[in-house]
Structure 1
Amino acid sequence: MTQMWANFHLLRPEWLLLLPLSLGLWWLWQRSRDPLRGWRAQMHPDLLNALLVGEHSKRNLARYLLPVAWLLGIIAIAGPTWKLEPNPFVEDAQPLMILLKSDKSMLQTDSSSATHMERAQLKIADLAKARKGQPLGLIAYAGSAHLVLPPTADTAVVAEMAAEISPDIMPVPGDRLDLAIQKATALLQEESHGGSLLVIADTVAADSQTLTSTNQTANPVPIQFLALADADSPETTTLRDAAEQLNANVQELTIDDQDVSTITDFAERNASAGIAGESSRWQEAGYWLTPLLALIVAFSFRRRELAEAEKPS
């Protein structure tokens, strides 16, 4: 409530200049319609009130409805507001680009019989189900980075394409995560939307200085890592070091869907970092006064009908 009053202002305060004018016109109109105006100049007010009978002896509250309606209408036109309009882009799901490492190191195994690549493909399939209908893209990288699919709402296709990726189809071996990040960032910027990156890898062998300069832009893209190796392994340590250079988070692999839930939550919170939150336009609240104006108009019509009914035929 305190924040609301601190932000309260009028979008068009110049309309408030009509307030004294409207009150003055109403006062002049009331004087011109007063049937006892001549008597008021000749008699003492107490004596005149004692002689009045019927509706003139009572205060007619209905006559005050007109200035109240004018005041409410002027305030509504002045544009009272206290909060910014929500950004329309935030309502739409922002793209999540998956950067899948496809070097030969992904064929290694740890504590389970599944290779790192098989683990990654299974998690991508789970992620595609969790983000069904929300834009999901895929980039495969090793010594070079290649766009497999731009962000698409058909996430099942992303899972199918990821299942077909292997180190054998990559033209250059290596670990150029920096190239993958650059390609994904450029793609998101071309679409003029927010977005975030998910790096699925077992290790990161890129130079720390190269990684540091990779995501240093005016609007850096939020990045998170999914570690495929064991949590206490030297391979995962390289991911943590890379994440520190990129100001990113590292999510460890879990046997359930907890890692997928954490990834999707992070994406929803941070994907629209460049456009999220509130827009620069203030949301008008004057329309909230229209029900009161409608009631006043309806009441004035009712009073007129009663007055017509009371007239002698």
Structure 2
Amino acid sequence: MMILLGDFSTFLFISKVNSILEMGENMKHRLLIPLLLFVIVSIPNLIVDAEDSNHEARLKMYKDYELASGVPWYEIAAIDQYERNTYKFKEGSDKLKYDTISIFITNERWSGPENPYYYDNDSYTINLFGGIGKDGNGDGVADINNEEDVMYTMVEYIRSFDTFKEALNSYYQQDQAVKIIEEIAQLFKHFDTIVLDKRCLPVSKRYSYSFQDNYGTARSWGGARSHEGIDIFANYSTPVLATAYGVVEIMGWNDYGGYRIGIRDIYNTYQYYAHLQGYEGDLKEGDIVEPGQVIGYVGSTGYGKEGTSGKFPPHLHFGLYKYDGRCEWAFNPYPHLRRWEKEEQ
């Protein structure tokens, strides 16, 4: 798409560039990026058409900021996606509504922990009190309610560290959050898109299988506990399929689940596949999988030391867990399995 600027806009832009070029190197660096973002992000001709999906608008924004800052788009996108997954669990996040992004920065972090002005939007005093808020659209105001300022602030925060992981560790200070964001970035980079919504059943409909809603029923082996999943009964060696695009977080033996696989998708959802007879090929932790990919085979392993099998009929235990930014909790896979089953008809 061509960038068409009116005569006054062109004059204003050229004047700003000439003024900046006359400044010192440090000042040039600080001001050229916001100006470039102004051209890339704010010019009306570059706004995504109304009929375009929010996915397209988001991806365009990420890539515009990559062009202006040098931070890879999939790293920016991964932070925004993680925030999208967790913002509703954060106190005060409901007060901030942006058109495109979901990044939530607390007022304390934005303005500075000792800043007497809780809703400060002055870059000088924000910086003076150790806040991170910045003016991203060049209007002279560091506005926490403006998504361009928020996105620019986050991108500049990332740029202030030597590595992406260092930035995440400093900002989130939670190993689980850092790991999940890195995995989301890995998925976005690998598939070169943020549209990774396809889902499928964990067993192929070409094979015989059955399942009922037995989520939450009592289990006694290893102590009284609740059944955190759905049992899908099928014959030995029935292929087990990845239900989503994801990263293999864990593989190996678990005394309860036997040979199992844990996979995380871009929505902070952890898919747990247990009682497997074995794994597919050379699948390993850290690998990327996609919906319908064979990852293992139905078995009856578990309830004992490694190699224990046959204590119950062959079936796949399938569980779903959500990480909300503070803790991980199980939820019932049954309605999702039924929906995926229906979608495959």
**Same fold per superposition (TM over 0.5):** no
Give the number of the structure whose residues are more often helix, by fraction.
Answer: 1
Q: Which structure would you say has the larger RCO, counting Cα contacts within 8 Å and 6 or more residues apart?
A: 1
Structure showing greater Rg: 1
TM-score, normalized by length of structure 1? Answer: 0.21
TM-score, normalised on structure 2?
Answer: 0.19
